[in-house]
Each structure stands twice: as C-alpha cells, then as structure tokens.
Amino acid sequence: MINAYRRLATLALAGLAATAALLPLAAQAQSTKIKMVLNWKYEGPQAWFFLAQDKGYFKAEGLDVEIDQGEGSAASIPKVASGAYQAGFGDLNAVIDLATKRPAEAPVGVYMLYNTPPFTIVVKQDSPIKTPKDLEGKTVGGPANDAALKLFPGFAKIAKIDASKVKITNMAPNLREQMLSRGQVDATFGYVTTVSFSAKAMGMDPAKDLRFIRYGDHGMDLYSNTVFFSRSFAKENPKAVAGFVKALNRAIGDVIANPDAGIDAVMKREPLLKREVEKERLLATLRNDMSHPEIARIGLGDVDDERLKRGIDILVDANQLARTPTTSEVFDRSFLPARAQRPAKLF
C-alpha cells in the first residue's frame, strides 16, 4: 500500500514538473510576433530599435520583434502594405502617397521621429547651380527609392522648376557621392545627414565641398521618417502596437541619456561599422532631423495636425493626386505614451 502511494506521488510530481516545463513555451506562444523593416542598412540612427530589443523592452510588452535592414525610406512602405512585414520605419510622405491611391492598403504612422525635413538636392561648392531654377538643363541623380527623388515633382512645382527640363538618372546608393564628385551628374538627391556622412567617408568636407538645396527652405515643410504599422495589424492588435511604441519610446530616452549604449547595440549587429562615425551620425540625426521646435509643445513622436495637413495638401496638389487623405488616415496618435512620458528636448 505504501509503495502504491509512493508511485502515485511520483507520478503526480512528474506531472507537475512536465507542466512547469511547458509554462515558458506557453508564455512564448502568447507573444505577438512583429516583423519590422528599417529605412536602410544598420546604422547609428537606428540605435533605439536595437536597444529596445537588447534590453528586453519589447519582450516586456509581450512582443517578439524581428528587425530587418531596409533599402530606402520610401521602399519600406510597400513592404508593409504587401503584408511581408507588420511594421516599418520610413518616409511618411510615401505613406500619404499610397493612402491617396490605395487607402485600404496604406500603413499608418504611429510614432514620428524625423520631424524636420531632411530632403535635399546636393551640388558641389563650385557648381553654377545656385537656386532650384538652375537645375533646368542639368542632370540630377539618386537611388530609385530615395525619398527626395520621389518628392521632386512636388518640389519642382513649389520652386517653379520646369521638371521636364531636368534629367533624372538612377544610381546605386553607394555611388551617389562618387558620381557627384567626378562630375558624372550635376547634382544628387538625398538626405542631408546621409549625404554628409557618405561624403566624409570619401575624404570630403561637406561644409566646404558641398552645398545643399533643402526642400524645407523652399516651402516643403514636410514630416519625414516615422514608425508605421500595417493598417490591418494595428486594428487587430492595438495592444501590441501600443506596447511596441511604449518600448521604443523608452529606448529613445535611454539613447538620448547615453548615446554610447545605443551605439553598442548597433555595433552588435554590424561590427564592421566605424563606431565613432556611427555615434556622430546618431548625434547629427538627433540634432538635425528630430529636434523641430514643436516637440517642446507636443513631445517627440507626435505630429502637429495643421502642419501635417499642409504637407498632405502640398503633396496632393503638386502630384495631382486623386484624393486627399485626412491626417488621421496617415497618422494615428492613439498608440502614443502620455505627453509627459515622451522627450520634449533632445539636447
């Protein structure tokens, strides 16, 4: 009889052990998977995404996040629209463009990062191109997925450029500054920070060797790169989207407080990068692309509805788009942490 009780006790303990062993698997099964595509190859200004991963901030929100490299700020939008990814980081203006054409497929912005327009046309310092109008009769090059190139029709209309007189040529992103330097193109499209650091890597001094015709200086005060989600995923998984944004916002605060920790996370992904260059690139992005004065009022991550509406109207008018999406169609602030929890100053 005693032996029988012992056998029963042993079986009961074995059952409890088996149940305990399954608990982590059950918890893991409950995690929401999110595949995210970045704007570009791994680099310093993506530090917060990686830090949120490494510090377990995503995991704490019940998320299993996978992050892939991208191919351009405009290229990430169709990848999310197609369902290949649930989330992305890229140009809000490409989101707006898709929302005018295929509103049911267009993703929606949830956390604005690049609140200052980085779009530019770059020329050599000694170039005869002094004003936007001077681009007529010239050749301007850029990667096919470059956001500044895609916005050029709108810029041309606002800056009163006859776009039919401007020759556009495509090149691989790593050839942009080389072709400009060698005179193979008269100007190139790009982001100010991206071009500046690529030029530095070639031994150029962007402050002395280049001039930047910035879209924002000629009436295109547009928002740029935002974190966005598939519309269907956001509708079906609002808690997961809010959790992602909360984790990201927390990691951004960490990077602002300690940029080196952010660069540590970047270097883990791509050890061949030059650490000091990526740190400088991160700080330049914080300073030049993310520090619009409006964040003192609305906080990082949010948008000013009136400013966003002006941007939408500019794009619709300049590109003769069929419909005008509302601000809420392209950006949904309902997933944001409270205003007091988001950075209001980056330096």
pLDDT tens digits, 144-198: 989 999 999 999 999 999 999 999 999 999 899 999 999 999 999 999 999 999 9
Tens digits of per-residue pLDDT, 224-254? 999 999 999 999 999 999 999 999 999 999 9
For 305, the token pair is: 């509805």
Comparison of pLDDT for 272 and 26, the residue scoring more: 272
pLDDT of residue 5: 43
DSSP code at position 159: T
Average pLDDT over residues 323-333: 97
State phi, psi for 64 to the nearest 5 degrees.
Answer: -115, 95
Gap between the Cα atoms of 344 and 5, Å rounded? 66
The per-residue pLDDT for 23 is: 43
CB 57 within 8 A of CB 255: no
The pLDDT value given to residue 347: 85
**How far is 313 from 139, CA to CA, in rounded Å?**
28
Confidence check: pLDDT of 27 > 50: no
Token reading at 332: 């949904």
Side chain identity, residue 297: R
Task: Please count the other Cβ atoms lying within 10 Å of the Cβ belonging to residue 29.
Answer: 8
Task: Give the chain's mean pLDDT.
Answer: 92
| Confidence grade of residue 29 (pLDDT, cut at 50, 70, 90) | low
Those residues with Cβ within 8 angstroms of residue 312's Cβ, 6 or more apart along the chain or in another chain: 96, 324, 325, 327, 330
pLDDT on residue 25: 44
Angle between helices 259-269 and 275-288 (to 10 degrees): 120
pLDDT bucket at 320, cuts 50 / 70 / 90: confident
The distance in angstroms from the start CA to the end CA of the chain is 76
3-state secondary structure of 330: helix
pLDDT at position 126 over 90: yes
Q: Nearest 5°: phi and psi at 55?
A: -85, 0
Q: What is the mean pLDDT of residues 124-143?
A: 97
Asked whether residue 219 carries a pLDDT value surpassing 80, the answer given is yes
Q: Which two tokens stand for residue 306?
A: 């009136």
- Helix, strand, coil abundance in the chain, percent, nearest 5: 55, 15, 30
Compute the average pLDDT of residues 99-109: 97
Q: What is the pLDDT of residue 16?
A: 42
